[in-house]
Structure 1
Amino acid sequence: MSSRRLRNHLSVAAAAALVAPLALFVPPVAAESAGPSDLRVTYVESARWDSGYTGEITVHNTSGADLTDWTLEFDLPDGSRVHELWNASLSGTAQDGYTVTPPRWGAAIPAGGSYRFGFNGVHTGGNSHLLGCTVNGAPCAGEPDQGPEHGSRSIAYFTQWGVEERGYTVRDLVDSGSAEKLTHINYAFGNVGPDGECFMTNEPEQGDARADYGRAVPASESVDGAADGPGQPLRGNFNQIRKLKEQYPNLIVNISLGGWNWSKHFSDAALTPESRERLVSSCVDLYLKGDLPVIDGAGGEGVGYGVFDGIDLDWEWPASDGNPHNVVRPEDRENFTALVQEFRDQLDELGAETDRHYEISSFMPAGPWRIDTGFELDEIMPNMDFVTVQGYDYHGTWESVTNHQSNLAPDPRDPGDVISTQTTIQAYLDRGVDPDKLVLGVPFYGQGWTGVEPGPGGDGLFQPATGPAPGTYADGSEEYRNLKELSGYELFRDDDLGTAWLYDGETFWTYDDETAMTQKTDWVTENGLGGVMIWSIDGDDGDGSLMAAIDSALGG
């Protein structure tokens, strides 16, 4: 590893398409000369074979003046080196780092234009992206964004399936303005197999390695406007997250394990000291060391290193019912404590080797009975960086009567079992949890019923329904970005409860709009909680309206 790479181990790396759309870059403005901040560099691995590959580099001049002189410096990952470069001048080595300048015959880059050159390189199976890349002394991808200015956590779940099923890409985080407002992303989900280990597969309902790191992302969906090369070993969401972290170096990305559908084998994996050690070791190797199995030409030892910064445990639920296919044992409570300790120990061991801190968090339930059944809070919280608390799905279409799904305060009119965010958070505080380690979960979707009579209030609340309302992806559920576009509905609100709902005389939707989201976030800050978590970011509109409301209320 070269000395420059050591100095720039958190610096940006870039990637490019063969024809990068200039519309993705800042339009040129009048200038007397092109400064470092006016330059961008993108890179793409356009071909790969046995031990060789072709890399293409493009220097973009976004200024209003022609550029006649430039200097590009970069390193390559261990095992990669430049063999032959054309259309530019090259000096340096794989050990000391490379320097590229214009060719001896000159190559002026016109205002608003670009210059492309390439090279053949040698690899040993790993990545080839540029490391510590600078152009005229400035980061190749532009000056990095430092993220939100407030001191709270703002955490968004990004769903593995969101790209192909919902049309929400990693780049949408940037285009919507949400990326700059986030401190964390939880990537949902990683699966635990029947052998008690983290694994990757393209088997339906078991995993989607293609979405994770196999799909070649086109330029139009790429964070930096550069397509994934078809032969590069890291593609898909993981490569886009890597690029996102280059632009937002303070952003923390954790892999979330489990979820409603993939908590089936947690009880078995946590059962014994040996099984816990095996589970944690497999997850650390796969996600934190980045040893991705080779599937359809993508993956390899260490190719995913740096994508993830920690582990989010989403076991739903230890020692109590969740998905009907789950294995559930009474001793899950104590075994979860031991599992958290095993994660903390192995993460700290890896951190000592890499000189960094790896986070551990957990998704935690609403309802005191489930808390006490499944979690020894006094034992696990010292090992947790924070926990996110479910602040939604209090009611839904598994019930036959309309209700609030995420009310901040108890509704005195509720005829059934009353649950609220205030009572949920208080249950954790009563059990001695530090409020700064509690992050409130909020929904970017709504729950809906149809066949609903107006009732005495004329608003459909607390009224019998004939069934779930039709939804875009599933009946009874709808994303905020679609709910806000509904016509023919009347908006109702209870500011004391921090709730909003829509009703058209037949169909009822309980959801959080920008006002309700602000009310909840204000309550979080007023009570000294650690921040806000979103399930899930793909439910927001194209302008990131809900995320903007949260950020503003957090003090961003």
Structure 2
Amino acid sequence: MKRRSVGLLVAAATVMAGLTAVPAEAHSSKRVVGYYTNWSGYDRNFLVNDLAKNGTAARLTQLNYAFGFVDEHGNCLSSDPWADYQRPFTAEQSVSGKADAPGQALNGNLNQLKQLKQKFPGLRISISLGGWTGSKYFSDAALTAASRAAHVKSCLDLWLKGNLPGLPAGAAKGVFDGVDLDWEWPGSGGNPGNVIRPEDKQNFTALVHEYRKQLDKLSWPGRYNLTAFLPADPEQIDNGFEVKKLFKDLTFGTTQGYDYHGSWDPITNQQSAIDGPAGDPTTPEFSSQVTIDAYLSRGAPRSQLVMGVPFYSRGWTGVTNQNNGLFQPATGPAPATYEAGYEDYRLLKAKLSGFTVYRDNTAGFAWLFDGTTFWTWDDPVEMKRKAQYISQRELGGAMIWSLDGDTENGELIAALHRNLH
């Protein structure tokens, strides 16, 4: 499985002598969690203020900012200091409508996220650590009790206490309300070169517990969120995750609800079907049903299981013109704007001329085909279908990879949000 280097209705927390603060996760609706990447502001020119302009921020309960990295010593570091906290924004680019002033302590996306929280006070924001290209040293960081404690201390100091290199102490304090662990993957091969150990499975449980322990020691009116991104493949689940134990410390977990298939496969297929389609020649089956059932059967609580959905498509070209392009041989990945075989929904929508939309209403997925090129297709119709599935199965909500794929009017998140009950 591959993934790209891929406000809660907060109860007012009252801290009184002898009383525990109300957890910040207390809510009465489904979670809507979205990833915003620190590279979205480059070629895509999708800025934090676009989350306000297209209606996304008003519909999110949690935003995961991706990604912070872990170095060979287990310490947390920024993967892009310029994007994260150095880049100045003009008045037109900023959430507040005011330009960053020369010499101010905090610039970049983190300052914009702080402004976003001021505008949408119910929104929770977590720093997401790892990702496809940033998980190389997680195994080292999680190896011993001492390494885990040092790693967590480093990450909380950098991201939650806001002590960024070269800035005044605490310059970024208050931006983040929690940590999202995106180790891809404990005990399984992810990006080539990742450190992998058989004991990663137990060590990840211990790492999550160490995060929970240190987070709970920090001063906060309520409780910091602690979440994890979890793989779709049951084999990877069993290689690296003690599911029932993990969810005792996690606020919630998000499942990989996409990349079931892609242009690394020799034949076309779905990337985010709810159920396995009839006639699929590949084994084992990958689908949201398989993934969700795998976690539930291993002890994950329904209310803490948040299902991933894609705001992008996977594509093949040189496809045999049979069966409307589905399950057909291809010569390679479809040409695309930023990465061959991967296209944002908003960009693909603008190139629909010549394509026909096909839907499998039984398995729950759609695709585009023009006789040669095949794209998976998650549009508002499929977002509605996924939201209804999440609601019918009484899951905890939906997670989006990634928010920069939506249109200027936020049509995907609108369809998702209004159908979650």
State TM-score, norm by structure 1: 0.70
Match of 1:158 among 30, 36, 41: 36
Deviation string 1:137-193 (CA, Å, 9 cap, x unpaired) is xxxxxxxxxxxx970100000000001121100100111011100000000000001
Residue 327 (structure 2) aligns with: 462
Match of 1:387 among 253, 257, 276: 253
For 1:214, give the aligned amino acid: Q
Deviation string 1:272-315 (CA, Å, 9 cap, x unpaired) is 11110110000000111111111xxxx22101111000000000
Q: Is the Cα–Cα contact under 8 Å of residues 238 and 304 in structure 1 kept in the other structure?
A: yes
Is residue 2:201 matched to residue 1:333? yes
Match of 1:177 among 50, 55, 65: 55
How much has 1:407 moved relative to structure 2? Answer: 0.4
Residues 45-124 of structure 1 correspond to what in structure 2 (within 5 A)?
A: none
Residues 118-267 of structure 1 correspond to what in structure 2 (within 5 A)?
A: 151-200=29-78, 207-267=79-139
Residues 325-364 of structure 1 correspond to what in structure 2 (within 5 A)?
A: 325-350=193-218, 353-364=219-230
Deviation string 1:390-426 (CA, Å, 9 cap, x unpaired) is 0100000111100000000111210111211011100
Alpha-carbon separation, structure 2, partners of 1:511 and 1:160: 25
- Identify the range of structure 1 (182-191 vs 353-362) with the bigger mean alpha-carbon deviation: 353-362
SS in 1 for 2:215: helix
Q: Is the Cα–Cα contact under 8 Å of residues 196 and 279 in structure 1 kept in the other structure?
A: yes
Residue 191 (structure 2) aligns with: 323
Residue 277 (structure 1) aligns with: 149
Match of 1:476 among 320, 337, 341: 341
Alpha-carbon separation, structure 2, partners of 1:182 and 1:415: 37
Alpha-carbon separation, structure 1, partners of 2:391 and 2:73: 43
How much has 1:511 moved relative to structure 2? Answer: 2.2
Larger radius of gyration: 1
How much has 1:240 moved relative to structure 2? Answer: 0.6
Deviation string 1:260-280 (CA, Å, 9 cap, x unpaired) is 000000001111111101100
Alpha-carbon separation, structure 2, partners of 1:249 and 1:307: 12
How much has 1:328 moved relative to structure 2? Answer: 0.3
SS in 2 for 1:220: coil
SS in 1 for 2:207: helix
Alpha-carbon separation, structure 1, partners of 2:137 and 2:102: 34
Q: Is the Cα–Cα contact under 8 Å of residues 452 and 466 in structure 1 kept in the other structure?
A: yes
SS in 1 for 2:408: coil
- Which structure: greater strand fraction? 1
Residue 356 (structure 2) aligns with: 490
For 1:211, give the aligned amino acid: A
Residue 525 (structure 1) aligns with: 391
Residue 114 (structure 1) aligns with: none
Q: How many residues align?
A: 394
Is residue 2:235 matched to residue 1:369? yes
Is residue 2:385 matched to residue 1:513? no
Alpha-carbon separation, structure 2, partners of 1:454 and 1:424: 31
For 2:31, give the aligned amino acid: R
Q: Is the Cα–Cα contact under 8 Å of residues 406 and 511 in structure 1 kept in the other structure?
A: no
Alpha-carbon separation, structure 2, partners of 1:355 and 1:439: 24
Residue 453 (structure 1) aligns with: 320
* Root mean square deviation, CA, Å: 1.2
With a CA cutoff of 8 Å and minimum separation of 6, indicate the structure with the bigger relative contact order. 2
SS in 1 for 2:165: strand
Q: Is the Cα–Cα contact under 8 Å of residues 176 and 543 in structure 1 kept in the other structure?
A: yes
Q: Is the Cα–Cα contact under 8 Å of residues 394 and 406 in structure 1 kept in the other structure?
A: yes
Alpha-carbon separation, structure 1, partners of 2:251 and 2:37: 22
State TM-score, norm by structure 2: 0.92
For 1:404, give the aligned amino acid: Q
Q: Is the Cα–Cα contact under 8 Å of residues 150 and 554 in structure 1 kept in the other structure?
A: no
Match of 2:367 among 501, 505, 518: 501
Q: Is the Cα–Cα contact under 8 Å of residues 442 and 534 in structure 1 kept in the other structure?
A: yes
Match of 1:444 among 288, 311, 324: 311
Residue 304 (structure 1) aligns with: 172
Identity of aligned residues (%): 52
Match of 1:406 among 253, 272, 288: 272
Alpha-carbon separation, structure 2, partners of 1:554 and 1:221: 31
Unaligned stretches of 5+ residues in structure 2: 1-11, 13-26
How much has 1:522 moved relative to structure 2? Answer: 0.3
How much has 1:378 moved relative to structure 2? Answer: 1.9
How much has 1:357 moved relative to structure 2? Answer: 1.0
Deviation string 1:204-225 (CA, Å, 9 cap, x unpaired) is xxx2111111011111111121
Alpha-carbon separation, structure 2, partners of 1:221 and 1:340: 37
Deviation string 1:399-457 (CA, Å, 9 cap, x unpaired) is 110000000011121011121101110011111211110000000000000000121x2
How much has 1:488 moved relative to structure 2? Answer: 1.0
Alpha-carbon separation, structure 1, partners of 2:150 and 2:221: 23
